[in-house]
Amino acid sequence: MEIDIVEVGPRDGLQNEAVQVATADKIGLITRMIDAGARRLEVASFVNPTRVPRMSDAEAVIAGLPDRKDVSYIGLCLNRRGVERAAATREGGRRGVDEIGCVAAASDAFGIANQKQTALESVSESVAMLRAGRAEGLVPQVTIAVAFGCPFEGAVDADRVISMAERLAEGDPVEIAVADTIGVAVPQQVTDMVGRLRERLPPQIRLRGHFHDTRATGIANVWAAAQAGARVIDSSLGGLGGCPFAPGATGNVATEDVVYLFERSGVRTGIDLDRAIAINRWFAGVMGRSLPSAVARAAA
């Protein structure tokens, strides 16, 4: 068995940090993670820089990335303007991003805070964005945010998430992710959600899990998702992360912890754990503090 890990540290890991990480250090993080074996990386988001200033150098980061044919770069898009910016990174024969990651919110309150759209509006917009991205030659995929709980509305009905996923499938994404944006899910919920999605969605659509470790259930949820049929997992080097529009949300599951879990369980990830721990040490110096990864801390 193999699990495809999407390294989200350069985008989701840094978007809510107090410090502005230099463009060169973002590129250095991405390059080092590629050297460690990462083959899909979320490198930037095409969002309003006044709302998410940590992503204001998106195009500069992308312009500095290595041109590797065995690597796929992902840019997050919240609206069709974001898709246009993603496509523009490929103009003039430039490499640019390979994939667009669209986002639909499972609650109205979060959708309005995050992208000024209700849940249903975000689904309709995402379907249009998925189609527009494919027309531009970009690989389209989509995430359902706050799929297990919303910081403003509380618990989210799983039936609503399933219905949203079925509607999003009409946009022909290669992948649909469910995100525990504020880290409230437990393994039983994940097993139920991913299992039902696998039954209801076309088999060619991959399922992806995105988990935060706010309540120390993140790594257990990763395992539950994989066992239920998710073949792609998001993780962030060191466990960095958080959402500017989700009060109290803390870091993503750490790439080092996820690699340790899977590799020790006989599941291949393609990422070298020792190299990831070394990158953790280097990036802790960039951030000026130790990073949350339990495996990296144990290896100290």
Question: Helix 218-228 to helix 187-200 angle, to the nearest 10 degrees?
Answer: 30
Buried/exposed 142-172: b ≥16 CB within 10 Å, e otherwise:
bbbbbbbbbbeeeebebeebbebbeebbebe
CA distance 166 to 1: 27
If you ran DSSP here, which 8-state letter would residue 109 be given?
Answer: H
Active site residue: 77, 102, 150, 243, which one? Answer: 243
CA distance 14 to 28: 14
CA distance 117 to 125: 9
CA atoms within 13 A on the CB side of 244: 20
Q: How far apart are the first and last CA of the chain?
A: 30
Tokens 């792609």 sit at which residue? 232
Active site (annotated) includes residue 243: yes
Nearest of 38, 82, 28, 93 to residue 59 by alpha carbon: 82
Nearest of 142, 137, 211 to residue 170 by alpha carbon: 142
Question: Helix 255-264 to helix 273-287 angle, to the nearest 10 degrees?
Answer: 170
CA distance 13 to 178: 17
CA distance 124 to 164: 10
Nearest of 28, 139, 23 to residue 77 by alpha carbon: 139
Helix (H) or strand (E) holding 74: strand 72-77
Query: What amino acid positions are annotated as catalytic residues?
Result: 243
